[in-house]
Amino acid sequence: MALHIEKIEKSKISEVDFNNLKFGQVFTDHMFECDYENGEWQTPKIRPYQALSFDPSAKVFHYGQAVFEGMKAYKDDNDDVWLFRPDQNQERINKSAERLDMPPFPKDYFFEGLTTLIKMDSDWVQKGADNSLYIRPFVISTENCVSASSSNKYKFMIICSPVQAYYAGEVRVVFADKYSRAANGGVGYAKAAGNYAASFYPAKLAAKEGYQQVLWTDAANHEFLEEAGTMNVFFRVNDTLLTAPTSDRILDGVTRKSIIQFAEDKGIKVEVRPVRVTEIIEAAKKGELKEMFGAGTAAVISPILGFAHKGEKFELPKIDDSYASFIKKSITDIQRNKAEDKFGWRFQVK
């Protein structure tokens, strides 16, 4: 595969304060891009990170035909760089693309582009427990035409951003009882840009009440707890972990599936089944709801300290033997090459 490479003249890395990063605001020196035209993906390129220029009629601006992924690279004490289950992201971006009627991006282009880009910008992968390089592959429709139909031109890109924690403070959620994120037969399972755009207004209303996230419920009756948009969600009732099954409304999160496999391997009882709003409220009232946490690439594993439902507020108890802390430490140790990788999840960038 031919990969065209154009390097920057001078890195901007010395301008970056790696101890004070706000999530997703700083980008590395290079970016990967590949255009789809005349029914095929053209020669992929790595170029200096820069602004792009589009015609105002480009379809992505009008119809939101856009999908993305979130991945992270980690640097260990020997300066080796690791990815976590990148095959899952490569497969998922094409599942998302298929749902939005976009062409699949070839696996060999994805891996060649990803690994070459990370090697070129490897100084931007900082060591240390809270540091990682967030990787954002995405595809947008670029045909210049405002008719409401699929595009015949696309752009696939990968950009990278050094990050620390996604949630800097405490996380509390409000259970959705009016707005919905996804419906049966819709695009909820895809990482489609519009899923996120649609959540911003309800999220703003929740933030005004002091909640960092909306925990989405099923669109039909708001009876079952589904996911939080930026993360899947787990509930610990007594010593059992509960999480909703994936469906066409719920993202098949890589962190989510890794937690399920890891927890089961450690003998923790995991139930993957529809989780009723009422059972979580009952469990909270009886003191049986020990923990709630979100799981995602950006969010890692984020404890949820409380929730609200129709104006009723609940705080979770402080807990010594937290599953969230144990699982987070264990999985991040695997990601950072500090622990045995018995599931074969780590992928070295070399």
**What is the contact mask toward ligand COI in residues 14 to 53, using x (rule: CB under 6 A)?**
----------------------------------------
- Cα gap 98→60, rounded to integer Å: 16
DSSP H stretches of helix in the chain? 59-63, 86-99, 107-120, 193-208, 254-265, 277-286, 323-335
Spatial neighbors of 300 by CB under 8 A, at least 6 apart, are 165, 166, 255, 328, 332
CB of 299 to ligand COI, least distance (A): 6
DSSP H stretches of helix in 223-322? 254-265, 277-286
**What is the contact mask toward ligand COI in residues 213 to 232, using x (rule: CB under 6 A)?**
-----------------x--
- Number of residues engaging ligand COI in binding (CB under 6 A): 7
Nearer to ligand COI among residue 249 and residue 309 (C-beta): 249
Instruction: Check: CB of residue 40 under 8 Å from CB of residue 123.
Output: no
CB of 60 to ligand COI, least distance (A): 18
**What is the contact mask toward ligand COI in residues 229 to 268, using x (rule: CB under 6 A)?**
-x--------------------------------------
Nearer to ligand COI among residue 244 and residue 284 (C-beta): 244
- Cα gap 90→72, rounded to integer Å: 13
The DSSP bridge pattern shows strands 275-276 and 224-225 to be antiparallel
CB of 231 to ligand COI, least distance (A): 7
297 binds ligand COI, rule: CB under 6 A: yes
Contacts (CB under 6 A) with ligand COI, residues 76-135: none
DSSP code string of 168-234: -S--EEEE-SS--S--TTSSTTS-BHHHHHHHHHHHHHHHHTT-SEEE-B-TTTS-EE-B-SSSEEE
CB of 98 to ligand COI, least distance (A): 18
Options 70, 106, 113, 294; binder of ligand COI; rule CB under 6 A: 70
Nearer to ligand COI among residue 234 and residue 314 (C-beta): 234
